[in-house]
């Protein structure tokens, strides 16, 4: 999917953005921007697409995304209200040379790691959630202080999980169009029977060329990517409905219950039934 380049609504009175986006303003397609992004989910749940990572998000989660890292967060179902405080800032918003100070050594390392996309964990998630929530209403120097506190917490505690293994780079126009078609088709049609021949035709490539291209671009095979999208959908159904595991298996695009259970355990490290009990 081709990420559109988002531009921030900066004014002369602010050097970075901190605002709440709530349904319907929360719904943003696959996109990227040169700014770093902190996001705190105040309500809702769904699937996170960050680089080549596919996983879940829920109320209370905090993510830190590096510059130019493509991402989108899709809520569990259309009627679910989802909202988050989003903080976006450029590396040089506090002036040239600031990040070169020796005191910011750990912050520089944090920025390098954020290229993978980070999900904050432990006590840091709770502390940062409160700071990000308060940051939107802060003014003056207090805005800078609260943002620096968030960065310091991540840099010092390192309570986070790196998510994506995809190299962040500027694709040429042809590659952007190709990735866009493949991602878009997969997200919209994952429940249907899909063959590599069909996907390769969408990308205007031979099957061997497409497989090599996709693996090089995303660090995973297309089949693994497809199964991750399907399992993500299955997780939503397991959490939000009372449908049987067998029904969810077929609705998510799997032909056999055995393969569904195998792929679910490979990705989630538990069985579908265990996942459902965990979500209750």
Whether pLDDT at 280 is above 80? no
The CA distance from 248 to 156, in Å, is 42
The CA distance from 5 to 19, in Å, is 19
* pLDDT tens sequence across 161-179: 999 887 665 555 566 678 7
Element (H, E) at 249: helix 245-251
Say what the pTM is. 0.75
Q: Which fold has domain 173-279?
A: Arc Repressor Mutant, subunit A (1.10.10)
* pLDDT tens sequence across 107-156: 999 999 999 999 999 999 999 999 999 999 999 999 999 999 999 999 99
In angstroms, the first-to-last Cα distance of the chain is 33
85 burial (CB, 10 Å; 0-12 / 13-18 / 19+) is buried
* Most confidently modeled range among 70-84, 217-231, 256-270: 256-270
Reported CATH class of domain 4-162? mainly beta
Percentage of residues of the chain with pLDDT beyond 70: 91
The CA distance from 275 to 268, in Å, is 8
* Residue 103 DSSP symbol: G
| Residue showing tokens 């980070």 | 118
**Largest interatomic CA distance in the chain:** 59
Q: Are strands 83-89 and 45-50 parallel, antiparallel or unpaired?
A: unpaired
Residue ranges of the domains in the chain? 4-162, 173-279
């Amino acid at each position: 999917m081709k990420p559109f380049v988002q531009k921030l609504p900066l004014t002369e009175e602010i050097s970075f953005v901190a605002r709440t986006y709530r349904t319907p303003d929360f719904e943003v397609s696959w996109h990227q921007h040169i700014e770093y992004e902190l996001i705190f989910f105040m309500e809702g749940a769904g699937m996170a697409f960050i680089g080549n990572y596919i996983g879940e998000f829920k109320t209370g989660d905090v993510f830190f995304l590096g510059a130019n890292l493509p991402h989108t967060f899709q809520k569990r179902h259309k009627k679910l209200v989802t909202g988050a405080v989003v903080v976006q800032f450029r590396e040089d918003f506090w002036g040239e040379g600031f990040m070169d100070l020796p005191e910011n050594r750990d912050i520089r390392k944090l920025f390098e790691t954020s290229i993978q996309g980070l999900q904050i964990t432990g006590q840091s998630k709770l502390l940062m959630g409160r700071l990000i929530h308060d940051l939107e209403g802060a003014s003056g120097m207090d805005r800078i202080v609260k943002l620096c506190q968030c960065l310091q917490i991540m840099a010092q505690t390192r309570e986070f999980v790196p998510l994506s293994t995809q190299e962040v780079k500027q694709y040429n126009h042809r590659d952007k169009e190709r990735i866009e078609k493949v991602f878009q088709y997969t997200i919209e049609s994952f429940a249907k029977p899909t063959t590599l021949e069909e996907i390769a035709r969408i990308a205007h490539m031979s099957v061997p060329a497409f497989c090599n291209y996709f693996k090089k671009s995303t660090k995973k095979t297309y089949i693994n990517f497809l199964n991750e999208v399907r399992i993500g959908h299955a997780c939503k159904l397991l959490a939000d409905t009372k449908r049987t595991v067998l029904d969810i298996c077929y609705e998510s695009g799997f032909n056999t219950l055995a393969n569904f259970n195998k792929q679910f355990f490979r990705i989630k490290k538990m069985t579908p039934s265990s996942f459902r009990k965990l979500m209750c």
